[in-house]
Structure 1
């Protein structure tokens, strides 16, 4: 008899206990390992922070002087010369670097000083409590001990607005005016609910243990830029080195300094009664209000209105942007400071006279540009001018969207079209500097499969020929922007491009040359052209908002829509055209503020950090004349047309045209100018350099085909920055050139008037409707459909299917009202038997037989 042994409960659980014990051992060991890793990371972070902190004083010295104000020192940083002196007062928790965009703008006009209150920036800790009266008194002592004499124009941001008002109340004879930048007023504090007040007091009395921990283990230093930019998005406008300085200044904050900062907010209302009683009489006061602040807090605007009511000579302006307006719209803040200076009491000293002349000059420029915007139907523009490393002018005009009326600023992003080519040339030169590209090497060294139409031409073509548009290829890239092909496929089109000359023998402008050069960059580096631009050019030059495609541009919170002039409805937003594979020839988007950095680089070879990006010899090589050019832009084509027509040549300020590495070279009234313009759908741009004089000019617009506007403004600003006397009438010169080719503004406006006033009868339009036979090789039929006021023409031209609106200007004549052919004339030649031929720009393109 066999007996079965039945397992007991203890025997059944044994394997389970063994597995559980194994898991606990594994978990314990893993936890110990994880804790060890964390401890090591913290120790490494602490060590890193201590090492870096020990070097901070050397790496980030105070840019100004430390002045004793009675037991402690305050930091004062001044620039420029002239009177009155502008004093910049930062908001709560901020310091002098906050003004790094505004200060240089004003330094070209007068003396301007930014300082750090006690316990902030490079200043020592001061006595408590930090009342507005104590802070204003310390500022007065600082200016006196530093030898800075009035009168002063005081500029205060946020809580700093209360301090400059206090200064004006205590020392009215020293103050020539105030600019309050989204300043905090007593009304706002009075509107706070009890719960809000309790919450604020709790925050002020607490201690930021998390912040202290992150600081001591190195996290803030490593990831500070991302953290700060998340908290204050406007910081992205600052150069990288300035943001890093602000991070380091935050890291050096001690508990004592933090207590001083908390005291400022805690006792901010201590002198409210004194401030309320201190009206400002007829003192010039400009109150700037951030649109985002008004949208976020309804009580904010009432406080701004109360501040404007303090003076009989005040203005209140709502400026598009966030609370940190001096970072969001520095040129707008600078413009109002200049206006307060100009409105101040008369001064007789020489420096004051120079300041007034400067303010007058920029005022005249403002009026000039605003007049031209209206005359040429351009929605908006952003302008930058530099000389000897200083910014003379940086501001926006008009609107970035005619429908929303959002204003253009210096930070508004624009498409710069063919000015992009100079960035591609720079990319090639950076690789030449590294020995990775030889300008005189054949293109096939880097692109072995590349070929031109003949083997002989292929062997001759060098990288240098590409950069000077001397490849010998006819232009075959027209209409390929946005095409669904790869860059490699576009480069292969060179094999089918007809040759008009041997490589190196003659110039002919073509985007394909630039795309091939960009493809060499990609093959040599293993990076896309777009990635190379970001890492090797945009980031070193502080152009951190710049991009190379329309999708990224549209994600920016401050970009200009492309616009065109509808023949019937005036200025209207245009459709974006993504350059796609042709981006290296016309795809960069940037702001005037960023392009100012590019100007400075092209004049010196240095980044904003003072580091050399390109050696002087290679920089000069980009700007040298290698080939002659008949006409670099549309206005100068009037010079060629006059010669061919046998009529007297129109006047000109530019002559002797040549070409370097994606830069035109010209003589401008005896000065050598390096320049390039760009024309894209809805955007027009120009960059000019006078290397000998250290002058640079950038003009960006969101107007389509704004040739006359851009060239008039460019030449006017060049003459101003070069101090040419007497000032030439640049607009009159450009208009005379455009008149030769029938593109002057008077002719343009006459045509607009003609098309807007002419009315064709519906029956007359219907007579043109029908199917036409193509005369230019295309097999698809040409269709004409009559509407109530216009015709619709469906036609294939050079491989592109177009649907063109035709607006009548006479019984048989129409103007195209559709890009990219807007403004061209279309006529219908009709015979007695009813046959009709469509003539486009003087060329028969289709016919219909009855």
Structure 2
């Protein structure tokens, strides 16, 4: 769904690991506002060339089919595409991609526009605008404010909700919010940061209720159109007509093309569609203090300052190599680049994005690629995110980090799943051959232990899939979900086949003992007088 740097998947990877142990196109360029120009034209050209080169090299190294990058430098947006956008189409700077959780900044901007107009109060309770928002009885739902939503400090976290909030199904924003009606807060509102898509689904509903427009229509009219983002969309049908890039999910290390996931239920949290060139225009607005290229004010400087002010510590863990970061409103600050840099990654099940800008350096970078890899197992390098990070490093003239070996990771992953699957299948074959054979008495206990062990393991794997939700697991890690389900089925069938001889031996024993037992009974005596 969206950026998946979450405690949900960190918990999942531990459970999954335990379960497994058991068993080049022409560039486009547009002029924007010239305020705060830093780079010369030559420097800007070198910046986009470095970014394009690194993007192309790393996509080829990893096997991701295509992507695009835009660099805003010296008051100019330059965008280039690399590789394949699907159906034999070359990726260009104008190719639309689903941008994942980078959508959150658009939602925060929309709310701040309404703050500018006096229609939204940041410190007003969310229920003032979305009265149907409910939590478990006794939870302080009325204390959660609009500011808490935008700063991810509502007390809700990424474990909250069901299939809609996990991008495993689609519906309406109202239905997505209804999934938290029985939720218990993990902290008091405003106490600490916790990433949760539902915060921005709620913020999108605030935009709808106040403006009288759907969230998508509002973003189109108030953000996309004024910024001339002509290849940006709020629904998949017009995006497809505009050449929407395909997505890709990794199956055991091989990228498999998909129709890119696009969810209206969580549109405000992670499913807007845009091109690298358009995202460059969007970032140029931030560098210009809230102004579009033609001088139109999109948001006030005061609101922009509020939006970008770092609030709570935000923990990105391995994604940021353990470096400290903060969350503002729909944006992170710090991480690998230091507090002066504003950024937000975005992941859907089949695309990856990184938006980044530095007001101090007057430079911005937008990168989109048409694959994502979120398999929640130890050692996963989250390779698509590493690629987008390196493109940003290259554009900024910083050292490009060496990529972890994607091939080595998937070699180990494939072995880790094939070995238990192979052993389980061998056990199933042996069990099928032993169905008609007799069991020695001394082996009956061990056979019973084997049946119990396989049954418990199969039940644990089924419980794991139930806990994750099959739809969610299939959406975000289909190869792993398939392996877990297959192991559960094989182990259960093996247990049944191993149990049959035990049951037959018991029935045979009863049958053999029956006549002898009757012979030992005393003869019936007649009634006494």
Q: Note whether the superposition's TM-score is higher than 0.5.
A: yes
1:683 to 2:351 alignment: yes
Deviations 1:212-247 (A, max 9, x none): xxxxxxxxxxxxxxxxxxxxxxxxxxxxxxxxxxxx
Whether 1:764 aligns to 2:426 is yes
Q: Structure 2 unaligned segments of length 5 or more: list them.
A: 1-23, 31-39, 375-380, 433-450, 500-529
CA contact (8 A) 1:795 1:801 kept: no
Tell me: CA distance 1:381–1:453, structure 2 relative to 1, closer, same or farther (3 Å).
same
**Cross-structure match for 1:820:** 477
More strand by share: 1
Residue 436 of structure 1 deviates from its aligned partner by 0.2
| Counterpart residue number, 2:332 | 664
Match of 1:555 in 2: 241
Q: Could you state the TM-score of these two structures normalised by the residue count of structure 2?
A: 0.71
What displacement does 1:390 show? 2.0
Native 8 Å contact 2:424 2:490 kept in 1 = no
Deviations 1:750-807 (A, max 9, x none): 33775899895996385499999798999xx969xxxxxxxxxx96454435897xxx
Q: 1:678 to 1:460 in 2, by over 3 A?
A: same
Instruction: Tell me if structure 1 keeps the 8 A contact 2:247–2:259.
Output: yes
Runs of 4+ in 1 over 6 A off after TM superposition: 354-361, 755-759, 768-778, 827-830, 846-849
Cα root mean square deviation, aligned: 4.1
Instruction: Indicate which of 117, 122, 129 corresponds to 1:446.
Output: 129
The answer on whether the counterparts of 1:567 and 1:755 sit within 8 Å (CA) in structure 2 is: no
Aligned partner (choices 144, 159, 174) of residue 461 of structure 1: 144
TM-score scaled to structure 1, two decimals? 0.46
* Alignment-derived partner of residue 731 in structure 1: 401
Q: 1:755 to 1:374 in 2, by over 3 A?
A: farther
Q: CA deviation at 1:547?
A: 1.2
Distance 1:448 1:359, change over 3 A: closer
1:362 to 1:627, Cα distance in 2 relative to 1, 3 A: closer
Matching of residues 489-638 of structure 1 within 5 Å: 489-556=175-242, 558-567=243-252, 570-604=254-288, 605-631=290-316, 634-636=318-320
Segments of 5+ residues of structure 1 without an aligned counterpart are 1-316, 320-328, 334-353, 640-654, 736-743, 784-793, 805-817, 839-845
Distance 1:378 1:624, change over 3 A: same
- For residues 100-129 of structure 1, the C-alpha deviation after alignment (integer angstroms, 9 at most, x for no partner) is xxxxxxxxxxxxxxxxxxxxxxxxxxxxxx
Distance in 2 of aligned mates of 1:829 and 1:496: 33
User: Is 1:385 matched with 2:46?
Assistant: no
- The CA deviation at 1:381 is 0.8
Question: Secondary structure at 2:256's aligned position in 1?
Answer: strand
2:237 is paired with a residue of what secondary structure? helix
Q: Per-residue displacement from partner, 1:106-158 (whole Å, max 9, x unpaired)?
A: xxxxxxxxxxxxxxxxxxxxxxxxxxxxxxxxxxxxxxxxxxxxxxxxxxxxx
| Partner residue, 1:399 | 84
Higher relative contact order (CA 8 A, sep 6+): 2
What is the CA-CA distance between 1:411 and the residue it aligns to?
0.6
How far apart, CA to CA, are the structure 1 residues paired with 2:305 and 2:171?
35
Is the counterpart of residue 704 in structure 1 residue 372 in structure 2? yes
Maintained 8 Å contact 1:482/1:577: no
The 3-state SS of whatever aligns with 1:495 is: coil
Once the 2 structures are TM-superposed, how far is the Cα of residue 421 of structure 1 from its aligned partner? 0.8
Q: 1:611 to 1:381 in 2, by over 3 A?
A: same
Contact preservation (8 Å) 1:666, 1:672: yes
Deviation (angstroms), 1:635: 2.5
Provide the C-alpha distance between the structure 1 equivalents of 2:156 and 2:42, rounded to a whole number of angstroms: 54
Q: Deviations over 1:629-665 (max 9, x none)?
A: 1216x533x63xxxxxxxxxxxxxxx32110111111
SS in 1 for 2:160: coil
**Deviation by residue 1:725-757 (Cα, 9 ceiling, x = unmatched):** xx42x322x64xxxxxxxx52532433775899
Change (3 A) 1:357 1:624: closer
Q: CA deviation at 1:500?
A: 0.9
- 2:59 alignment counterpart: 373
Deviation at 1:494, TM superposition (A): 3.0
Supply the distance in 2 between the matched residues of 1:828 and 1:750 (Cα, whole angstroms). 21
| Superposition map of 1:708-719 within 5 A | 708-719=382-393
